Amino acid sequence: MQYEKYALLWRIIARMQVHAVRTPQIVQAGDDLKEILRGSIDSLPERSVVAITSKIVSLAQGRVVSTQSIAKHDLIRQEADLYTEPTSSKYDIMLTVTQGQLCVNAGIDESNAREGYVLWPENPQRVANEVWAFLREVYGVQELGVIITDSRTQPLYWGVIGATLAHCGFKALNTLIGTPDLYGREMRMTQESVYQALAVAAVFEMGEGAQQTPIAVVNDIRSITFQDRPPTEAELAALHIELEDDVYAPILMKAEWKKVA
């Protein structure tokens, strides 16, 4: 029975397909994001999710700041909602809460850009909504999802994994609350984070280096509910937890958070 259970689990996991998409040219600041997508994606089947790295969204928006114009730490202070000073870290980095997400250095980095600091996209949710509508029209599909992704670290582990900054076209969470576990006990808190799990798989396949594959198409997803609309403000608000209410509040609330006046 144990072997059969894991064999079934493997078949379910193995069903999902993630295909990284190479762009014809390296994306540069000022390029048209929609034309990049149109020129890179040959076709989209129904029930696909398109992952787009936040880096090319930011480049298309011109969200690049010269390294000569401002000190990086000052730029981080401007971009973050909350931040810790770099002196609090042995690595000279700043922990930040930016656009409602806990991250390092407000998501600002210098990798895979010709020059300058690349900021997080401006209003990534609006971008996800617009790209979703554009792709549905261009490729003639109805059930489609879009995620804007980035990579981030995990506490207590080396290495980065993918994360979603914005999503559109599907329910972000699958709730298991009220359903029984293997032994009939009612589950009280568990929700599957569909939009974040997809980002982990997509970012891994797209890669972090010189692959030139900032787009991925995910198919045959095990359990996803597509929606014929962007997420509502209430749905988006329900995804976030205030610092004081988070399970990690004993740590988060002790940080010496600052914010720009």
- pLDDT, tens only, 75-111: 999 999 999 999 999 999 999 999 999 999 999 988 7
Tokens 């589950």 locate to 187
Bin 91: left if φ > 0, else alpha if -120 < ψ < 50, else beta. alpha
Separation between Cα atoms, residue 189 and residue 179, nearest integer Å: 10
Please report how many Cα atoms fall inside a 13 Å half-sphere around the Cα of residue 121, on the Cβ side.
25
List the domains of the chain with CATH numbers: 16-54+122-230 (3.30.1330.100)
Contact 204/160 with Cβ under 8 angstroms?
Answer: no
- pLDDT, tens only, 60-85: 999 999 999 999 999 999 999 999 99
pTM listed for this prediction: 0.90
Q: Which residues are CB-contacts of 118 (< 8 A; sequence separation ≥ 6)?
A: 55, 58, 59, 63, 64, 108, 109, 110
Separation between Cα atoms, residue 149 and residue 195, nearest integer Å: 10
